[in-house]
């Protein structure tokens, strides 16, 4: 059993030695192949460099041939130019020569004008030394200062104008709002119809095209019915016109003439029906009661309407009436107290007169 193991071990060792010998032979063969490969790679590099040098030589020869061809072509073109453009060059030379002479002539003229200008400058410089021109610089500065001050003043005036115009527009808008508010109140309290809800004054602003460019206002009276706005001109009756005129004038007096104590109405009931007359009476009574504390207030009514006058008689502040009649000779009989009323100083009494 041990002899068999020894034999196997011996055989294995021999096998290992054999393999080692083979490995050494393979290694030597590998080294030979690697040496051959390096030699071949070196030869390949040399061949590539040789090929590159050949290609470069080829390109150089091609470029030389191209250069020779271009030189031949240039020589041919020069010969053609020399033969074909000689006449045109002669013409161009003549043209340039003429231009040169013209420019030389202009130069001489310019030099002559320059000499004249210099001479004129010297003369003006001598003139500036004269007494009447010695203060020219100072006077110029004074005038420039005046111009600048005037320009600044104009700019300030323009700013003032714009500010004043803005203030006037604001004042106008406020007053128109107040007037329309009073018109609305008086119309609602006076007019008894149901075809017009309210009236107001509309303002159309225009700017004139003149030098001053002032603003102008076009006023028109409009009426409203169920939120529809229409111009009253040509769309309302005579009574509505009269009532609207009275209400607008009363609103204007209320807005602009609070310190003026006289409110005069001449035939205010013309073309008004009975309902609107009674409403007008109530409105006037309201104005009288509102102005009763004003010291210099007087209401003067000229009317032929006895019923209208009877309605006004209900006002407690009314103290005097004046009845003016005509006799058979159409002469007015004026009581003496009328003259006294006209000539006397305004006081708190309310005077109503009517013409029969």
Q: How far apart are CA 208 and CA 86, in angstroms?
A: 76
- Per-residue pLDDT for 113 more than 80? yes
230 within some domain:
yes
- Per-residue pLDDT for 269 more than 50? yes
Q: Quickly state the pLDDT bin for 349 (edges 50, 70, 90).
A: very low
Q: Which of 7-16, 203-212, 230-239 has the lowest mean pLDDT?
A: 203-212
Residue 228: its pLDDT value, please?
87
In terms of C-beta distances under 8 Å and separation of at least 24 residues, what long-range contacts does 254-263 make, across chains too? Answer: 254/182, 254/287, 255/175, 255/178, 255/179, 255/182, 256/175, 261/294, 261/295, 261/296, 261/297, 261/298, 261/346, 262/297, 262/298, 262/300, 262/346, 263/287, 263/297, 263/298, 263/299, 263/300
Residue 36: its pLDDT value, please?
86
Residue 147: its pLDDT value, please?
95
| pLDDT tens-place string over residues 298-318 | 777 888 887 787 777 766 666
Helix/strand/coil for 107: helix
Instruction: Return the CATH number at 243.
Output: 3.40.50.300
CA nearest to 308, candidates 268, 344, 257: 268
Mean pLDDT of the chain: 78
What share of the chain in percent tops pLDDT 70? 80
How much is the average pLDDT of 45-51? 86
Asked which of 228, 256, 284 is the last residue of a domain, the reply is: 256
Range of the domain at 244: 162-206+216-256
Question: How many separate domains does the chain show?
Answer: 2
> 284 and 316: one domain?
yes
> 241 and 303: one domain?
no
Q: Quickly state the pLDDT bin for 193 (edges 50, 70, 90).
A: confident
Q: Quickly state the pLDDT bin for 351 (edges 50, 70, 90).
A: very low
117 within some domain:
no
334 within some domain:
yes
Residue 355: its pLDDT value, please?
37
> 263 and 353: one domain?
yes
> 266 and 351: one domain?
yes
> 193 and 282: one domain?
no
Q: Quickly state the pLDDT bin for 289 (edges 50, 70, 90).
A: confident
- Do the beta carbons of residue 278 and residue 311 sit within 8 Å? yes
> 269 and 221: one domain?
no
């Amino acid at each position: 059993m041990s002899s068999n193991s020894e034999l196997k071990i011996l055989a294995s060792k021999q096998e290992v030695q054999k393999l080692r010998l083979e490995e050494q032979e393979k290694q030597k063969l590998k080294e030979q192949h690697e040496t051959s490969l390096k030699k071949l790679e070196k030869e390949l590099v040399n061949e590539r460099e040789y090929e590159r040098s050949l290609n470069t030589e080829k390109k150089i020869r091609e470029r030389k041939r191209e250069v020779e061809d271009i030189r031949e072509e240039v020589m041919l073109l020069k010969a053609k130019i020399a033969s074909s453009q000689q006449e045109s060059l002669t013409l161009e030379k003549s043209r340039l020569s003429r231009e040169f002479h013209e420019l030389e002539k202009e130069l001489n003229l310019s030099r002559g004008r320059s000499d004249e200008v210099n001479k004129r400058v010297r003369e003006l410089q001598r003139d500036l030394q004269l007494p009447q021109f010695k203060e020219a610089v100072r006077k110029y500065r004074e005038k420039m200062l005046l111009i600048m001050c005037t320009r600044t003043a104009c700019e300030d005036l323009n700013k003032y104008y714009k500010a004043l115009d803005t203030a006037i527009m604001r004042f106008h808008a406020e007053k128109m709002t107040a007037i329309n508010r009073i018109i609305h109140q008086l119309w609602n309290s006076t007019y008894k119809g149901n075809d017009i809800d309210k009236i107001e004054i509309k303002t159309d602003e225009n700017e004139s095209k003149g030098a001053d460019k002032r603003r102008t206002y076009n006023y028109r009276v409009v009426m409203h019915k169920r939120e529809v706005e229409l111009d009253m001109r040509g769309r309302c009756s005579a009574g509505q016109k009269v009532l609207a005129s009275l209400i607008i004038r009363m609103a204007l007096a209320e807005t602009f003439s609070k310190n003026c104590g006289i409110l005069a109405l001449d035939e205010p009931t013309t073309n008004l029906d009975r309902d609107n007359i009674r409403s007008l009476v109530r409105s006037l009574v309201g104005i009288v009661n509102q102005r009763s504390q004003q010291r210099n207030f007087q209401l003067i009514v000229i009317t032929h309407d006895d019923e209208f006058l009877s309605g006004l008689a209900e006002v407690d502040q009314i103290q005097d009436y004046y009845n003016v009649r005509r006799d058979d000779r159409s002469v007015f009989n004026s009581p003496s107290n009328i003259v006294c009323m006209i000539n006397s100083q305004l006081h708190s009494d309310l005077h109503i007169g009517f013409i029969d």
